[in-house]
């Protein structure tokens, strides 16, 4: 799967990448995304360095799964863009918690 991760250079984003590796999640292509501040840096995933890109609408082209770990403001801005491009969006911010149209998954409550 082509997987995008917005917030790839942050602490939680780094942990998300480690979890994907540990669980052998079937990532054929990683699209690490961040703000312009972090664009151009690299993240390591599955023994390879991946260039971090600045988030944009085009960054979600062909993405199967988009993971969001960049805070509520970024999620509100970019999650609809990723979904419109056909990606399944998984967001760990509080941005959608009270939205009746958005499923809330809490592993301890609804595994």
DSSP β-bridge partners for residue 48: 45
User: What architecture is domain 2-91?
Assistant: 3-Layer(aba) Sandwich (3.40)
Pairing status of strand 53-54 against strand 29-34: parallel
pLDDT digits (tens, 9 = 90+) for 17-41: 999 999 999 999 999 999 999 999 9
Give this prediction's pTM. 0.89
More confident residue, 46 or 96: 46
- Model confidence pLDDT, tens digit, residues 49-70: 999 999 999 999 999 999 999 8
d(CA 111, CA 108): 6
Taking alpha carbons only, the member of 92, 87, 108 closest to residue 15 is 92
So what's the pLDDT on residue 95?
84
Residue in 53, 51, 55, 47 with CA at minimum distance from that of residue 18 = 47
- In the chain, domain spans: 2-91
- Interstrand relation of 29-34 and 65-68 (parallel, antiparallel or unpaired): unpaired
């Amino acid at each position: 799967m082509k997987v995008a991760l917005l917030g790839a250079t942050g602490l939680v984003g780094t942990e998300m990448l480690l979890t994907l590796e540990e669980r052998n999640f079937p990532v054929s292509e990683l699209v690490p995304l961040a703000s312009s501040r972090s664009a151009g840096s690299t993240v390591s995933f599955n023994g390879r360095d991946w260039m971090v890109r600045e988030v944009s609408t085009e960054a979600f082209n062909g993405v199967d799964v988009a993971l969001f770990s960049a805070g509520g403001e970024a999620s509100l801005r970019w999650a609809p863009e990723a979904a419109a491009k056909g990606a399944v969006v998984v967001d760990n911010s509080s941005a959608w918690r009270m939205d009746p149209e958005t499923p809330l998954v809490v592993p301890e409550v609804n595994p």
